[in-house]
């Protein structure tokens, strides 16, 4: 019996519980972080509609510590005429995760939320495969003087017809590979260059490319365009992009949120997309729904002010816009992170 107990203790001590937790923990923690990050972004978009300051808290570090201890004891007595054996055992399992949260404040807040995105990053996302229409609608205020929809205290001002046509053409040119972005080394900082194919184009594509140049007042013969930040170009070979910050993008998406009519009438929420007038619903590229009951088929949902705000899981366009805003946080936060907490883990 004593040999059996000893064998069990030795066998337990030779088996590590660490490897078995890796697959489970990585999946569970990544899922939990992704879901909480989506809900945090959505909540802050809704809060913009109610002029409620946004608050962002990041997960800085996760450390999971596991302890598994075994113990066993055995004893016996032998007397003339009788004997007895006593056995005992114990086990203890401890799961003690340590999670640190880092609020986004100060310089990090300004850099990540209030700094306009570099135009090269915007067109780089298009080159990487993000739909041009959605990227430019979300992240650009104006291109060569053509203005996107604007959000102000009085509601939404619709986009210029020329701007919408530019988005439509760029989307088709992107799918045909007519537009490309490259970085050309120059004096000082690198210069972002937007290139257009002009050879061997189908007639329809060539006509749309020419129309795009007319709308943006570009040189019809130019194959390369300088990409710069601004509202108006310096000449006919420059594409001036007035980009938005992440905060501006969230304000625009907030204007597309459905809110109870009473909240707008009573001054609790600012006017939104509904203020743009009749017939604009067909142009709405992002929809954030509002219901009193918790939705059953939501891509992401959050409760706020006795209502549920959510994006329909079957609404691909709205899901793409929302996912792109989440992606833009990584484009905006280009600086180094501040000092993270240092944890000492006993081994």
Same domain, 99 and 187: no
User: Residue 340 falls within a domain, yes or no?
Assistant: no
Same domain, 37 and 113: no
At residue 34, does pLDDT exceed 50?
yes
Between 142 and 19, residue with greater pLDDT: 142
Distance CA 68, CA 220 (A): 72
Residue 58 parent element (H or E): strand 57-79
User: Residue 70 falls within a domain, yes or no?
Assistant: yes
Residue 62: other Cβ atoms inside 10 A: 14
* SS3 per residue for 87-148: EEEEEEEEEEEEEEEEECCHHHHHHHHHCCCCHHHHHHHHHCCCCHHHHHHHHEEEECCEEC
Contact residues for 292 (Cβ-Cβ < 8 A; gap 6+) = 306, 307, 308
Best-predicted range by mean pLDDT among 10-14, 137-141, 193-197? 137-141
- Mean pLDDT value across the chain: 79
Distance CA 150, CA 319 (A): 21
Structural domain harbouring 299: 106-332
User: Residue 85 falls within a domain, yes or no?
Assistant: no
Average pLDDT over residues 273-289: 69
Same domain, 97 and 148: no
Total number of domains in the chain: 2
User: Residue 115 falls within a domain, yes or no?
Assistant: yes
What was the pLDDT predicted at 313?
95
pLDDT-derived band of residue 342, with 50, 70 and 90 as boundaries? Answer: very low
Handedness of CA 248, 249, 251, 255 (dihedral sign): positive
At residue 85, does pLDDT exceed 60?
yes
Q: Which two tokens stand for residue 105?
A: 């404040």
User: Residue 230 falls within a domain, yes or no?
Assistant: yes
């Amino acid at each position: 019996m004593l040999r059996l107990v000893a064998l069990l203790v030795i066998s337990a001590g030779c088996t590590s519980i660490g490897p078995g937790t890796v697959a489970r923990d990585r999946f569970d923690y990544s899922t939990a972080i992704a879901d909480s990050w989506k809900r945090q972004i959505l909540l802050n978009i809704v809060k913009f509609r109610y002029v409620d300051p946004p608050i962002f808290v990041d997960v800085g570090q996760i450390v999971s510590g596991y302890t598994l201890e075994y113990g066993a004891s055995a004893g016996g007595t032998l007397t003339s005429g009788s004997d007895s054996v006593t056995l005992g055992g114990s086990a203890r399992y401890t799961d003690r995760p340590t999670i640190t949260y880092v609020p986004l404040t100060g310089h990090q807040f300004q850099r990540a939320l209030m700094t306009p995105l570099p135009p090269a990053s915007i067109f780089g996302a298009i080159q990487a495969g993000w739909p041009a229409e959605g990227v430019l609608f979300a992240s650009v205020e104006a291109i060569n003087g053509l203005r996107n929809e604007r959000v102000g205290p009085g509601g939404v001002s619709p986009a210029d017809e020329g701007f919408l046509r530019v988005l439509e053409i760029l989307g088709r040119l992107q799918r045909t590979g007519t537009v490309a972005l490259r970085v050309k080394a120059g004096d000082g900082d690198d210069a972002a260059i937007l290139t257009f194919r002009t050879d061997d184009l189908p007639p329809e594509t060539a006509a749309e490319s020419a129309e795009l140049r007319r709308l943006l007042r570009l040189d019809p013969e130019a194959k390369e365009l300088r990409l710069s930040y601004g509202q108006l170009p310096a000449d006919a070979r420059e594409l001036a992009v007035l980009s938005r910050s992440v905060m501006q993008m969230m304000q625009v998406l907030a204007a597309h949120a459905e809110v109870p009519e009473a909240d707008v009438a009573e001054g609790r929420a600012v006017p939104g997309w509904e203020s743009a007038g009749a017939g604009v619903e067909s142009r709405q590229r992002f929809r954030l729904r509002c219901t009193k009951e918790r939705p059953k088929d939501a891509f992401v949902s959050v409760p706020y002010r006795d209502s549920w705000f959510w994006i329909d899981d079957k609404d691909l366009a709205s899901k793409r816009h929302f996912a792109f805003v989440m992606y833009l946080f990584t484009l905006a936060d280009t600086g180094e992170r501040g000092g993270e907490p240092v944890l000492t883990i006993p081994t």
